[in-house]
Amino acid sequence: MTQKDDILIIGGGIIGITCAYELSQRGARVTVIDKGEIGFGCSYGNAGWVTPCFAMPLPMPGMLLKSIGWLMDPESPLYIQPSLNPDLFKWLLRFLRSMNKSLMEQSIHSLVEISKYSLEAYSQLNDKFPNQFNYEKNGLLMVSQTEAGLAAAENERRLVETHGVPGSLLNEDEVHKLEPAIVGSVKGGVYFPKEAHLEPLSATRTIAEAAIKNGVQILSNTEVYDFVTDGNKIVEVHTTRGPMRADKIVLATGSWSPGLAKKLKLNIPVLGGKGYSLIVKPLKKQPKIPLMLVERKIAVTPRSNSLRLAGTLELVSPTDYSITSNRVNAILRGSKLFLDMPENPEVLELWRGLRPCTPDGVPVVGFSPRFKNLFISAGHQMLGMQSAPGSAKLAGDLILNEKPIFDPYPFRAERF
């Protein structure tokens, strides 16, 4: 690399922070700015799964028919809010066009690759900073109460197996033996033994601290509101703490990216995939393994002294942070079908976040076609936590003009 590249990263979620760490490990001079506190965007309350088995793009073939059915059901796991917003319309058209098998195969390959890299990277970070972010490698169990759900889980297992993610099909007895916290009758499950989970805010903070030790400057409560450009270059970034300049600028603002991109007359088609996460008191029969309750699409993550239940994906405008009680209650009701929970579980924390969803299900990680010093790293949909170190590696390679270890083509910015 050229000595001491000066890089300004906008956005201190897991994507911006891992990017800062990666670049600083390689000698770059980096500043991260965030409009709030580091790690309090979508990276705050997610399920914390680092699961290459779930490296699926959102627009999977067959999703269309399912989502039409789900639209009728106010408690369904996926909901598309009807709206006359032209951005939503354009996004949906591109989403539909992306539901084809060859694109899906290419996307899964790319997403599994960066997720597998990330799984290893988190494991190394955990060795370096032990007991900082509750990293555990207990695998992931998909559990199903219906034949159709089990067939769908097995289908996913076969799909990711071809990309080197091992998993096995379990019958009902094997499911109960592996995870005694599951109650009632189930049809079976699929177990992926190599997957991991972690505490998302702690992971983001641990990596931020490591980056600071490398010399990264982190400025919280510093909001970008405009840019000054000259031809194909951004020459100044206007922030609430004054103007800033840098050789290269990285936009890592998750679901806020479309708004900032518009200031630059750029199109980053990201919708908010709203999801909820509830932290409840530990159960008498507390699960040890993260669980995907297949029919309800609920992610259950054991924590040291509580349990996280996360779910729903409601496609909304990136500014809609409203809370819909029906959808929150559906998570509790769905969890009770699989776990021994009290009638009225005590919810210690309710959180909602907007997953930054691109219409083709692949993040944008690449230089802007319009501004030669603008790099975009946004749109990591349901996979931002689990793909962050791999995404940062790709970003680092491209920003520092080195040969990328992953194929950058599926992630390129100019596809939109």
Residue ranges that bind ligand FAD, judged by CB under 6 A: 10-16, 33-36, 40-43, 46-49, 223-224, 252-254, 256, 260, 275-277, 299, 310, 353, 355-356, 378, 380-386
Structure-derived torsion over alpha carbons of residues 73, 75, 78, 79, reported in degrees to the nearest 10: 60
Identify which of residues 183 and 235 has a Cβ nearer to ligand FAD in the complex. Answer: 235
Identify which of residues 287 and 353 has a Cβ nearer to ligand FAD in the complex. Answer: 353
CB of 31 to ligand FAD, least distance (A): 12
CB of 185 to ligand FAD, least distance (A): 27
Identify which of residues 34 and 156 has a Cβ nearer to ligand FAD in the complex. Answer: 34
First to last CA, the chain: 29
CB of 2 to ligand FAD, least distance (A): 26
Q: What whole-number distance in Å separates Cα of residue 120 and Cα of residue 116?
A: 7
Q: Summarize the chain as % helix, strand, coil (round to 5).
A: 35, 25, 40
Q: What whole-number distance in Å separates Cα of residue 230 and Cα of residue 370?
A: 11
**C-alpha 287: how far from chain center:** 23
Identify which of residues 63 and 383 has a Cβ nearer to ligand FAD in the complex. Answer: 383
CB of 172 to ligand FAD, least distance (A): 26
CB of 171 to ligand FAD, least distance (A): 27
Q: CB-hemisphere CA count at 13 Å for 294? A: 24
CB of 262 to ligand FAD, least distance (A): 12
CB of 328 to ligand FAD, least distance (A): 11
Q: What whole-number distance in Å separates Cα of residue 5 and Cα of residue 11?
A: 19
Q: What whole-number distance in Å separates Cα of residue 37 and Cα of residue 40?
A: 6
Identify which of residues 78 and 187 has a Cβ nearer to ligand FAD in the complex. Answer: 78
What contacts 360, CB < 8 A, 6 or more positions away?
A: 57, 59, 94, 95, 98, 103, 107, 415
Identify which of residues 30 and 378 has a Cβ nearer to ligand FAD in the complex. Answer: 378
What is the three-class DSSP state of 400? coil
Parallel, antiparallel or unpaired: strands 78-80 and 271-280: unpaired
CB of 263 to ligand FAD, least distance (A): 9
Identify which of residues 59 and 353 has a Cβ nearer to ligand FAD in the complex. Answer: 353
Two structure tokens written together for 37: 């506190």
Give φ, ψ of 234 to 5 degrees: -90, 120
Nearest to 200 by CA among 321, 413, 44, 40: 44
CB of 47 to ligand FAD, least distance (A): 3
CB of 388 to ligand FAD, least distance (A): 7
Identify which of residues 15 and 20 has a Cβ nearer to ligand FAD in the complex. Answer: 15
- Phi-psi category of residue 221: left, alpha or beta, with phi > 0 → left and psi -120 to 50 → alpha: left
Identify which of residues 176 and 380 has a Cβ nearer to ligand FAD in the complex. Answer: 380
Nearest to 94 by CA among 360, 406, 367: 360
Are the CB atoms for 371 and 234 separated by under 8 Å? yes
Identify which of residues 41 and 189 has a Cβ nearer to ligand FAD in the complex. Answer: 41
Beta strands (DSSP E) in 283-391 are 291-293, 298-302, 307-316, 347-357, 364-367, 374-378
